[in-house]
Amino acid sequence: MRHTRTAGWAVVGLVLMALAVPWFLWDSAQVVAGLPVWLWWHIGWMGLASLVFAVFARTAWGLGIEEVPADG
């Protein structure tokens, strides 16, 4: 169970990193409320990343960090 949770959080982290920069919106010149759409994406994504980190910090902090027993 612990390894599944570790792998799950690793996938969540990779997705957050991969989509943090909106490469697919860089050619867009569309503006909403005075700001480019790509900037709105970034603002929203950073808000989502903050919420995900808060959940991670409350529920899974230290996951994947196990003590290695000393030999002898």
**How many angstroms separate the CA atoms of 57 and 41, rounded?**
24
Query: Two tokens at 37?
Result: 């759409």
Any domain includes 40: yes
Any domain includes 68: no
pLDDT exceeds 80 at position 15: yes
How much of the chain exceeds pLDDT 90, in percent? Answer: 47
Contact 37, 8 (CB under 8 A): no
Identify which of 65, 47, 51 has the alpha carbon closest to the alpha carbon of residue 10: 65
State the pLDDT confidence band at 69, using cuts at 50, 70 and 90: low
For residues 10-38, give the mean pLDDT.
90
- Segments forming the whole domain that contains residue 25: 2-59
Any domain includes 46: yes
What's the pLDDT score for residue 22? 85
Any domain includes 17: yes
What's the pLDDT score for residue 59? 87
Domains identified in the chain, total number: 1
State the pLDDT confidence band at 34, using cuts at 50, 70 and 90: very high
Any domain includes 72: no
C-alpha dist (Å) from residue 42 to 38, 45, 52, 58, 72:
6, 5, 15, 24, 51
Any domain includes 19: yes
